[in-house]
Structure 1
Amino acid sequence: MVRIIGFFVGLFFAVGVLWAFATGAYTVASQGYLKEKTAETEFHRHPAALHLSSDGPFGKFDNRQLQRGYQVYKEVCKACHSLNHVAFRDLAELGYSEAEVKAEAASWTVPGIDPNTGEETTRPGTPTDYFPKPFANDIAARAANHNAIPPDLSLMAKARHEGPAYIHSLLTGFTDPATYKNEDGKSLKQEFPDFQTPPGLYFNPYFANLNLAMPPPLTSDGQVTFKDGTPATVDQMATDVAAFLVWTAEPSLGKRHQTGWPVLGFLLFATVLAFLAKKQVWARARVRRD
């Protein structure tokens, strides 16, 4: 009876493995090798590598860079994109003093309630407020962005594959489809003469379907004047705002790196102690048996 049950259990797992393999092979075939070649599949470009100080197990945030990235967000990105999960008080982690955080919060206008009438109004922000949304609702957002809702940027660096590199490449990747060539040197217009960027959209090979509603936000060097004197090239601004969005997505990253290595060292030390104790205990047991 046990053998029969074991046989059916093994058969069940074997069928499960074969089913998983078959569905995986079908998915790969339907999404890749058997899929018709299109402009999107042939000319979509993967993000270029981006190296930040927060990369790697020993990485830590560069506060000066984060402050520059915040400045880019404030002067360029906030017109369309929100930071729903970030409060003004969180800016203290970027190296701002308490007075600077209060002044920065007060420079923003946030929704409020009139205490006398109970009606909705606006007021200067306080450190406990979260960054306000740029649009009152989705309808207003669509109306201002060719029927597209600009995504919230709080978690964008983690929501996209190769998030920081994707953000940097997207911001610097706007180009003319008439002259665009992929990594193999193939011309988009020669390979797909009928390809068009619809009115109101903008060509960007780093975006999945090549056309997106966001116009180029970083149009020229010097668009932002950094307070620390760093030259504000388009590449520098894109790098800094990508670093800032890494922080908004995981503000505890630096502390986690700092804490992680001591914890790993302690666990390694405890493991060695446990191994030596085990050898000592069993050595005494063998002596007693002998």
Structure 2
Amino acid sequence: MIRIFSMLVGAFFSLALLWSAGKGTVAYISEPPAKTVEAEFHQHPKALSLSSDGAFGKFDRQQLQRGFQVYSEVCATCHAIKQVSYGDLRELGYNEAEVKAIAAKAQVPEYNPATGEVKQHPGALKDHFPPVVYGGAGSPPDLSLIAKARHGGAAYIYSLLTGYADQAGYKNEKGEELLKKFPDAKTPDGLFFNPYFANLNIAMPQPLVSDGQVSYKDGTKASVDQMAQDVSAFLVWTAEPKLEKRHQTGWPVLGFLIFATVLAYMAYRTVWAEKKGH
């Protein structure tokens, strides 16, 4: 009796679930939810290939130095990299004298616990990049870990930097114009249209505006696309400075684990071979 009752209860809930799913499907087909402007026009990051990609990836030191130059001359006014110390820059291929010269140009705040005073001193190798004092509304994000904090990583950063567009003529994949399909979606004053940003409107003005904005020391042509790639590569390094060491360590460890697994399996076969024969 209990078994029959349990079966009836199960059948009732199964039918209720099927009815609910069917009703929801019919409602969705007959009256699909209205698409938002963000869902319709937001773009996924463009493809970006860097030397640090993949399990065997290594940093291109020349590109990292170019990226640091773009950061220093364009981005550092608003965005800090507080997790990076000046001494870390030696990993980019700079010698100690060059790093000391870079650090000495900065004024780093130092808190005195005895007096409560904050004094400035020229940067040294042990110092981290100082926070940025920003006078506008809000606070621009620190870029130290931005390549790990944003979905898409370096590709997102590259796409955002090169993705500013004229909203009036922007079209989606179907060729429909934004303001014709969503007349009320005009970008508010003080914001800038960028289809790679989550809600399409970003407070940051376009930072890379023209070719040659930075004069690369290695002679590379500083196109907007090149500068965006280089600073994206640099921000991958700030987020994962030990990436190469992790790769170098990971493969021997993986090899050892595979060897140990094979050895353990062979030992298992040897120990249990006679037992299985009986």
**TM-score scaled to structure 2, two decimals?**
0.84
1:96 corresponds to: 94
- Aligned residues of 2:110 and 2:120 also touching (Cα < 8 A): yes
CA distance in 2 between counterparts of 1:34 and 1:100 reads 61
What is the percent sequence identity of the aligned residues? Answer: 63
Moved over 6 A (4+): none
2:67 to 62, 66, 69: 69
Structure 1 residue 278: Cα displacement: 1.5
Q: What residue number does 2:246 align with?
A: 256
1:114 Cα shift? 8.2
Q: What is the one-letter code of the residue matched to 1:277?
A: A
Structure-1 separation of matches of 2:164 and 2:201: 10
Q: How does 1:1-290 map to 2 (within 5 A)?
A: 35-112=33-110, 119-135=117-133, 141=134, 143-144=135-136, 147-285=137-275
Unpaired stretches in structure 1, ≥5 consecutive residues: 12-17, 136-140
Provide the secondary structure at the position in 1 that maps to 2:250: helix
Structure 2 residue ranges without an equivalent (≥5) = 11-16
Distance 2:76 2:32 in 1: 42
Report deviation, 1:284: 4.5
For structure 1, which segment, 169-178 or 195-204, has the greater mean C-alpha deviation from structure 2 after superposition? 195-204
Matched residue, 2:14: none
Matched letter for residue 261 of structure 1: W
Q: Report deviation, 1:249.
A: 0.8
Question: Secondary structure at 1:110's aligned position in 2?
Answer: strand
| Distance change >3 Å, CA 282–CA 208, structure 1 → 2 | same
Give the letter aligned to residue 214 of structure 1. M
* Partner-residue secondary structure (3-state), 2:168: coil
Offset of residue 60 of structure 1: 1.1
CA distance in 1, matches of 2:110, 2:139: 24
Give, as a single letter, the amino acid of the residue that structure 2 aligns with 1:154.
S
- The 8 Å contact of residues 179 and 186 in structure 2, kept in 1 or not, is answered as no
Please provide the CA RMSD for this pair: 2.7
In structure 2, what is the Cα distance between the partners aligned to 1:186 and 1:47? 20
